[in-house]
Amino acid sequence: MNKKSLKSLIDYWKRKRQAIILSHNYQRAEVQDIADFIGDSLELSRKAVKTRAKMIVFCGVHFMAETAKILNPKKIVVMPDLTAGCPMADMIDAKTVKKLKKDHPKTKVVCYINTTAEVKAESDICCTSSNAQKVIDSLDCRKVIFIPDKYLGEWVSRKSYKEFIFYPGYCPIHMRISDKDIIKLKKRHPKAIVLSHPECALPVKIISDFVLSTSQMVKIVKENLNQEFIIATERGIIHQMKKQNPNKKFYSSSSLAICPDMKKTNLFNILNALKDPKNHEILVEKSIANKARVAIEKMLKI
């Protein structure tokens, strides 16, 4: 079946199911092109709360779809490929969080949105890469446990007076991005502005002009008068940048900056999820969802 036929069938089933398609910035170009909304974790969380659609087709990875389900317990949330996970989220579990809390009593737990529902349920509040600083600043405490991304946590801690306890989690994709590669690119394109994600290692962020979430990157590229940009995050985001800024030039910081889990979603399995939602549905145990919702909603209020 060709792409035109697939898109036509997706439109039909989307209307039939009264569904909305949400896509992360790292998804395949073909997925971004049919999505009703494209964004980062925070934007997608907000959109999931506001939508009146009866079904949410979440094109991202598992923890994102879980978050959408937690915020919309009465809606059907489906994932085109249920095996699309997040290596960082898998680096920590609820048992580990409980031990950290026991070892550090009276300490608030801030969990990055890139975590499972069980981990969120054991946390005081969630954060994303775009709002982490605001979340930390909002807490009335001296010490915080920041999980699981030590690179984001360390970056936020540089602008905070609070004491941080870090967990050694990280994103393997962002760890493939090297400051040496960026320096080489900068020599070839001296006028290019370097944009990096907070999940990158510190040497990458230090040589960047801006350290931003994916949606913040898309926004600044559109607003900035500069014509060339070096993008230090997953390569999928460049598709939106090119669509919105056809006259500007973009250079990926690394040919290795590709998330295989983000690329599992395609038009064919989106169609399957719409036609057969029961085999693609995201379910979260009620007791866990209720506790996790508290941490997520605290974040959304900030």
Query: Residue 179 corresponds to which amino acid?
Result: D
Burial class (CB in 10 A: 0-12, 13-18, 19+), 191: exposed
- Tokens read off for 96: 């580990």
Say if CB 127 and CB 111 are below 8 A apart: yes
* Strand ordering across the sheet containing 37-39: 37-39, 19-24, 55-59, 76-78
Residue 160 backbone dihedrals phi, psi, to 5 degrees? -130, 150
Residue 98 backbone dihedrals phi, psi, to 5 degrees? -60, -40
Closest of 289, 299, 302 to residue 67, by C-alpha: 289
Which helix H or strand E contains 185, and what residues bound it? helix 179-188
The confidence score (pLDDT) of residue 286 equals 97
Distance CA 178, CA 214 (A): 18
- Parts of the chain with a pLDDT under 70: none
- Tokens read off for 234: 């997953």
Closest of 169, 124, 135 to residue 292, by C-alpha: 124
- Tokens read off for 16: 């039939």
Say if CB 244 and CB 218 are below 8 A apart: yes
Say if CB 204 and CB 212 are below 8 A apart: no
Query: What are the start-end ranges of the H helices in the chain?
Result: 3-17, 29-34, 41-50, 62-71, 94-103, 117-121, 132-138, 150-157, 172-175, 179-188, 202-206, 214-223, 238-244, 267-275, 286-301
The confidence score (pLDDT) of residue 48 equals 86
CA atoms within 13 A on the CB side of 48: 33
The confidence score (pLDDT) of residue 116 equals 97
Please report the domains of the chain, with CATH numbers, ordered by start residue: 3-84+262-283 (3.40.50.10800), 89-171+290-301 (3.40.50.10800), 177-252 (3.40.50.10800)
Closest of 130, 173, 131, 165 to residue 148, by C-alpha: 165
The confidence score (pLDDT) of residue 1 equals 78
3-class secondary-structure state, position 164 = strand
Question: pTM higher than 0.75, yes or no?
Answer: yes
Cβ atoms < 10 Å from Cβ of 301: 8
Say if CB 262 and CB 243 are below 8 A apart: no
Query: Residue 206 corresponds to which amino acid?
Result: I
State the first-to-last Cα distance of the chain, in angstroms, to the nearest integer.
Answer: 45
3-class secondary-structure state, position 19 = strand
Contacts of 232 (CB under 8 A, 6+ apart): 177, 182, 194, 195, 196, 197, 200, 204, 208, 253, 254, 257
With tokens 């439109």, the residue in question is: 11
